[in-house]
Amino acid sequence: MKIALITPFLPYQNVPHAGGQFTYQILKYLSQDHKVTLIARLETNESIQLHELSEICHQIYPLETSCGSKYPWVFRLKTIFSYFRFFRWIRRVLHQNTFDLIQFEYSESAFFFRLRSNPKLVLNMHDVVTRRIRLDGDASCNIVGRMKHFLAGFGYELMERTAVRKMDHILVRSVPEKTFVNDHFHGEKVSIIPLIIDEDCDIVRTEPELPTLLFTGAFNRKYNEQAAIFLIDRIFRALQSEITEIKLILGGNKPGRILYEKSAGSKNIKITGFIPSLTDLYLTSTVFVSPVFTGGGMIYKNIEAMNCGLPVITTPKASEGIGGENGKHLIIAEDEHAFCSAIKRVIADQSLRSNLGRNGQNLVRDQFNSGLVLKRYANIIASVITPQKGIAND
């Protein structure tokens, strides 16, 4: 079967964001039995990854862009322009080729899609942005914030509704997202495909000499930066008054100036910047603290930490799609006081740490292993191509 995989973010091994890692797993899986053409937008410094991808793809149509700028408004304008170039690139490639199936990664990839032929169409949403914006708007404390979220939500709802209505099947990460797409976009064929964990990760945990809190993420994303600021100002500072020898590690790509300013003068806060693999951090920390109150999709960092046997303390929002039991697989906290209390309990109780780590690891390895997730995905694709086969829905 000839398949086109269309994504605005280049997927490759060790790509520093969860969506790209998930798309890379799908790409590798499809390429085993099908001729897959990758149509992708990429930053200039990512072109080195194309050689590796050429070994698994039948064809690659890359569109290089350069959106970097020290001025946020310039970055946004360049990003918008690069998307319009990408839409034209998609249209050009699709009119030059024929495919049995086209899978779009992220709703924006499918917004301007038009094609005279009739291939089967799948949209992998990664994040139902309209739902996220509505939830963030409901939590906003002032009228300006709510108005901003209303306007943004209106634009994204138009984009996502348009994309969904073109598709034969929609993939989302969690039950709340599926319910939202069904209710608001009238998406009839919606299936849940969770993120995939790395079962091959070698788990040899080493307890650090000092209690060590860990939070990871791409810190150029607003919700990760906000969570890190909350962690430093509202949680870590409060804990230091009681536990003087405690450390905090912020591990991940593109930390901004504000995080360096917040950590300045503290020898107990470490910001790693980009590192190829976060596994060593997960294996050498005491507890993973994830105060993510906004954002969308599944929060991959949480299941990644759980996969490494690291106890996780997180919010109700960030535990969406995991299905863990509070106090058994992870700990749920809703404010800084609950976070501080839970962290102190986990640090003080070796048995609690061990149980949380073991139970959490068993949970994610049972639910998010590649064999289970990719089999479910294969059944969905089979049902799209030949409706009487596979499964039509969850």
Q: Is the pLDDT of residue 253 over 80?
A: yes
The domain made up of 2-196+369-385 has a fold known as Rossmann fold (3.40.50)
Give the distance, in angstroms, between the CA of residue 175 and the centroid of all CA atoms in the same chain: 16
| Nearest residue to 325 via CA among 356, 289, 365 | 356
Q: List the single range of 36-40, 67-71, 158-162 with lowest mean pLDDT.
A: 67-71
Q: Where are the alpha helices (DSSP H) in 167-195?
A: 175-185
Kind plus residue range of the DSSP H or E element containing 7: strand 2-7
d(CA 105, CA 376): 18
Among the ranges 44-48, 106-110, 135-139, 225-229, which has the highest mean pLDDT value?
A: 225-229
**Structure confidence by residue, pLDDT tens digits, 188-230:** 799 999 999 877 666 788 889 999 999 999 898 888 999 999 9
- 45-54's contacts with Cβ under 8 Å and 24+ in sequence apart are 46/10, 46/12, 49/10, 49/12, 49/15, 52/12, 52/13, 53/10, 53/11, 53/12, 53/27
pLDDT tens digits, one per residue of 316-342: 999 988 989 999 999 999 999 999 999
Domain with CATH 3.40.50.2000 in the chain: 2-196+369-385, 212-367
CA 137 to chain centroid, in Å, comes to 21
The overall average pLDDT reported for the chain is: 90
CA 250 to chain centre: 17
- The pLDDT of residue 205: 84
Give the three-state DSSP class for 243: coil
SS3 295: coil
CATH T-level fold of 212-367: Rossmann fold (3.40.50)
